[in-house]
Amino acid sequence: MTRDPRYDILFEPVKIGPVTARNRFYQVPHCNGMGHLMPNSVAAMRGVKAEGGWAVVATEECDIHVSSDVLPYAEARLWDDGDADRLSLMTERVHAHDSLAAIELVHSGHNASNRHSRLPVLGVSDLPVNSFDPVQACAMTKRDIADVRRWHRQAAVRARDAGFDIVYVYAGHNLSLPMHFISRRANKRSDEYGGSLENRVRLTRELLEDTKEAVGDRCGVAIRFAVDELLGDAGITSETEGREVVEMLAELPDLWDVNVSDWANDSVTARFGEEGAQEPYVAFVKKVTSKPVVGVGRFTSADAMVSQIKRGVLDMIGAARPSIADPFLPKKIEEGRIEDIRECIGCNICVSGDWTQSPIRCTQNPTMGEEWRRGWHPEIIEARGESKKILIVGAGPAGLEAAMSLGRRGYDVALADAGDGGGRAALEATLPGLSSYKRVSDYRLGQIEKLPNVSFFPGSRMDADSVREFGADQVLIATGAHWRADGLGRYTETGVAGITSHPNILTPDQLMVGNLPREGAVVVYDDDHYYMGGVIAGWLSDRGLSVTLVTPGPEVSCWTKNTMEQHRIEKTLLDKGVCLIEKHTLTNVSHETLSFAHNTTSQLTELQAQSLVMVTLRQPVSDLYFELAGHEEQHLETLPFRLTRVGDCMAPSTIAAAVYDGHRIARELDSPPHPDSVPYKRERPLIDRP
Ligand code: ADP
Ligand code: SF4
């Protein structure tokens, strides 16, 4: 297939100072939870992006000095030559595919707590650090500023020598010293680095000049700058100081990478922001500078990208999440395979890797983060093994991913689902704000349709007899899970007394198929702590019901802190008039009277509710599996087929986990790793034996 000429413009080269990007696709810096701790993993992941057609592939933020230590977050590091050597692994991988490697140098200022180095924190002013650590930054003296400039220069030279083609000065996301200096909120200085905007921009200007001087004829010098903090007059806005900063520095860098701050605004989830949401803020930049401008907007539509270029909003299409969900997005546009693009769903599971200090993962792309340790490639999968006929029961995220991946391996696959297919992804996509979840099932159903060796049978409920009769030599059970109504949960391990006396208990499963509460007060009890409780509370409130959300968690939807949505969820619910009660556990139900105990004081609160929605625990739908396997799995060895459980029907978790499990089982079919072995490579710290 050839590329649609409409998209030719996306494949024009772009000059960035002394270097040239081969097209307009630019993987902007993004964290990955691996950073300096897992250099092989990061290098392999970045290499795959370059292979997939991203003309520029950037690191995550890269600390330039031991006084900028953001432990426990695993970002890149360039503290000395040893770090540079590790980073050169990445540049080699990126250059192997004719792409440019970019590095985002940062001194984190009071965003670092220096938990590892235990050095005093250097900041623009005497301020507490950004975390709750009982640590304050010390206002930098001129000597400190000179030190930071020297460290930045040294890091730039090391970056150049490690093979980087673009070196960044980072003034974005409120995470770096240059931005702290620019910020009126943080900068309380009275010297030539404080006061007027010209003074507050001084450090950024100096760092740009220093970096150009250090690497200028070999590397492009980029600035990442947040033009708007979405704080109105309290912060930088694109109409005032954001614009003025771009005007002041317009021609100094070789490239402007512009966005909004903070990170939660920049990487807003699909629930709270559309594709291209940043355009109103960044659109002015190209009018102010002649240098190429990169911007992001969770762009997955080639038409939207072309529109950005043609309308003069951006010169290069920046992407973090779309490049994570599909590292081959540019190649697929280039080869005229638009329908093969695995579109990001905007869930921010990728972001949760950083916040939970674990290697990056992605709902849509199960190979993300696994390129080195498992050797998984997003577009290449090993050819089939000895099994002839595979039956998969359940076409939710796990079953769909397994069917697609096994189909690509060349197996004959039958995929049966009691419903239309899509499982929880299709079901949850009907909830407000979650429509993009449908992409999980749409993409896989679309790919399966193109595979002649995979047959999909919707409307086919399978029982043990029909499975046996099918005559497969491998059977995967991917029958999912359903929400429990009996109150068992994290905080109620022994259940809730009297719960069956309530006349109207509902679960998310019932609500999603249209079984909605009648009029009156509704209590949503959320012991799940991810998005479901908050989504349902908001939805029922929109339907005119009086809703109280009670959770034993410290905040509503508390795990969504890791997807940077918690504050938005809480605000949305409060704006809708939903009553929020945190740190309370459901202890007793007596008809419509609900009793909740405070987690620490045990003080009781009673609420009346005509309807009670239980968002607590999910029960695996594993009866079919155990009917075949035996309750102790005692029949597994004697069955005429190999039987495996996949996804939520084994251990309910995120959609990302179900997709991953489906993918893993598909990769390992016919050659599973030995159960006593570690099934992937590990990056082990060096040991220093005397
Ligand atoms: P996962 O996230 O693990 O993929 P889901 O709950 O999203 O799980 O999907 C499970 C799918 O399995 C649903 O689409 C459901 O209709 C289907 N299913 C459950 N039991 C059976 C069965 N006995 N026969 C066929 N399909 C089934
Ligand atoms: Fe997109 Fe979600 Fe994947 Fe992140 S995890 S890239 S938001 S699909």
CA–CA gap between residue 449 and residue 453 (Å, rounded): 9
From the CA of 292, how far away is ligand 2's center (Å)? Answer: 27
Cα-to-centroid distance, 647 and ligand 2 (Å): 18
Cβ-contact 646, 665 below 8 angstroms: yes
pTM here? 0.97
Residue type, 404: M
Tell me the torsion sign for CA atoms 229, 235, 237, 241. Answer: negative
The predicted structure's pLDDT at residue 337: 97
User: For ligand 2, which residues put their CB under 6 angstroms from it?
Assistant: 321, 324-325, 344-350, 362-364
Atom of ligand 2 nearest to the CA of 320: 6
Q: CA-to-CA distance for 43 and 188, rounded, in angstroms? A: 40
476 CB under 6 A from ligand 1? no
The C-alpha atoms of residue 97 and residue 640 are separated, in whole angstroms, by 47
Q: Which atom of ligand 2 is nearest to the CA of 439?
A: 8
Q: Report whether residue 326 contacts ligand 1, using a CB cutoff of 6 Å.
A: no
Q: Is 398 in the pocket of ligand 1 (CB under 6 A)?
A: yes
> Which pLDDT does position 625 carry in this prediction?
98
What is the distance in A from the centroid of ligand 2 to the CA of 326? 9
SS3 583: coil
Question: Distance between the two ends of the chain, CA-based, in angstroms?
Answer: 60
- pLDDT at residue 149 in the model: 98
Cα of 12 from ligand 1 centre, angstroms: 45
**659 in ligand 1 pocket by Cβ < 6 Å?**
no
The pair of structure tokens assigned to 339 is 């329908």
Q: What is the pLDDT of residue 336?
A: 97
CA atoms within 13 A on the CB side of 620: 17
Residue 658 alpha carbon to ligand 2 centre in Å: 14
Among protein residues, the one whose CA lies closest to atom 17 of ligand 1: 394
* Nearest ligand atom owner, CA of 343: 2
Specify the ligand 1 atom closest to the Cα of 652. 3
Q: What is the pLDDT of residue 170?
A: 96
Residue nearest to atom 2 of ligand 2 (CA): 347
Question: Please, what's the largest Cα pairwise distance for the chain?
Answer: 83
Tokens 């869930």 label which residue? 347
CB distance 393 to ligand 1 below 6 Å: yes
C-alpha of 458 from chain center: 31
Q: 658 CB less than 6 Å from ligand 1?
A: yes
Residue of minimum CA distance from atom 8 in ligand 2: 344
Nearest ligand 1 atom to the CA of 648 is 3
Catalytic residues: 31, 170, 173, 266
Atom of ligand 2 nearest to the CA of 656: 5
Best mutation site among 27, 31, 324, 440 for ligand 2, i.e. most ligand atoms within 8 A of its Cβ?
324
Q: Is 462 in the pocket of ligand 1 (CB under 6 A)?
A: yes
Atom of ligand 1 nearest to the CA of 416: 25
Short-list 207, 260, 263, CA closest to 561: 263
Instruction: Check if the beta carbon of residue 499 is closer than 8 Å to that of residue 486.
Output: yes
Q: What is the CA angle 375-381-386, rounded to 5?
A: 110
Structural contact between residues 662 and 517, judged by C-beta atoms closer than 8 angstroms: no
Q: What is the pLDDT of residue 1?
A: 76
Distance from Cα 169 to the centre of ligand 1, integer Å: 49
Measured in Å, residue 424 CA sits from the centre of ligand 1 at: 8
Report the chain (690 residues): mean pLDDT per 10 consecutive residues.
94 98 98 97 98 98 96 96 97 98 97 96 96 95 98 98 98 94 97 98 98 96 96 93 97 97 92 93 97 96 97 98 98 97 98 95 98 98 97 98 98 98 98 98 98 98 98 98 95 93 97 92 98 98 97 98 98 98 98 98 97 97 98 97 98 98 98 96 92
Measured distance CA(214)–CA(62) in Å, rounded: 17
Burial of 18 (0-12, 13-18, 19+ CB in 10 A): middle
Contact 56, 99 (CB under 8 A): yes
Q: Does the bond joining 120 to the residue before it have cis omega, within 30 degrees of 0?
A: no
Residues 6 or more apart whose CB falls under 8 angstroms from that of 427 comprise 509, 512, 513
The structure tokens 């980029």 sit at 222
